[in-house]
Amino acid sequence: MEKKDIKHIVKTFYNALEEGKILGRKCTKCGHVEFPPYLACNICGNLDTEWHEMSGKAVAMQIMAPSFGFSDKSFRDRVGDYCVGSVKPEESGELVTCFIGVSPGRVDELRGKIPFPVRPIIIQEDGYKMVFWELDE
């Protein structure tokens, strides 16, 4: 292997967010998409993946109100109401995430609608951007 063979994966992901694109890596054998992007496939073990722009279609699989003891108050101050839980993008596996703009008072109602549709929202952090999810309603 030479230096030129080692392409940036993490930096490419973050650079794409700056342009509003969310990238994963698609397995060339089984088609599973690794999101966030990795080199090899965690489903079939194939060692080759290629860039894939995520469709943005996803559903929430679990939702909980932020807790008193462990939630991040500074995050709430910045983004307003949010809940925590898990999201399943259509092409990839389930991930822990935050649902932005969702009042904790809606958790019981939304739990009854699982899996409910959500869409990605890109938020500016300190020097980089990050993907979270919001209700698609």
Partner 1 sequence: MGYQVKLNPLKPLSRSVSIIGIGATPFMLTMDDPETDGLCEGELFGYAAVEAMKDAGITAKDVDFYIHAQAGPTWQSQVGTPNMHVANWFGMKGKGSCHHSEACCTGYVALEQAVSYVASGAYDIVLSGACDMSYSVAYPDRPAFMRRSGDDRMFRDTLNSIFPKDYTLESYAALDVHSEIWLDEYIHENGIADKIDDVLCVLARDSRRAAALNPLSLCNDTYDELAVKYKMKDADTFLRSKFNPFLGRYLRASHFEQRCDGAGAFIVCPTDMARRCTDHSVEILGIGHSCLEISTPRLEKYATETAYRQIRDLTGLTGADMDLFMANDFHMSSQFLAAEACEYLPENEGWKYAFESRTAFDGDRPVQTNGGRCQYGHAHGTSGIHDYYEVVKQMRGEMGPTQVKRPVNYAMVRGYGGGQNLTCAILKSNA
Q: Which residues bind partner 1 (CB under 8 A)?
A: 10, 13, 36, 61-62, 64-72, 75, 82, 84-86, 88, 93-98, 111, 125, 130-131
Residue 20: which of partner 1, Zn ion, none does it interact with, CB under 5 to 8 A by kind? none
Interaction site with Zn ion (CB under 5 A): 27, 29-30, 32, 41, 43-44, 46
H or E element at residue 95 = strand 95-100
> Minimum CB separation from partner 1 for residue 39, in Å?
11
Residue 6: which of partner 1, Zn ion, none does it interact with, CB under 5 to 8 A by kind? none
- Residue whose token pair is 């898990």: 86
Give Cβ neighbours of residue 56 (< 8 Å, ≥ 6 apart).
22, 89, 119, 120
Token couple for 125: 């952090």
Token couple for 15: 């650079």
Residue 27: which of partner 1, Zn ion, none does it interact with, CB under 5 to 8 A by kind? Zn ion
CA distance linking residue 13 with residue 128, whole number of Å: 11
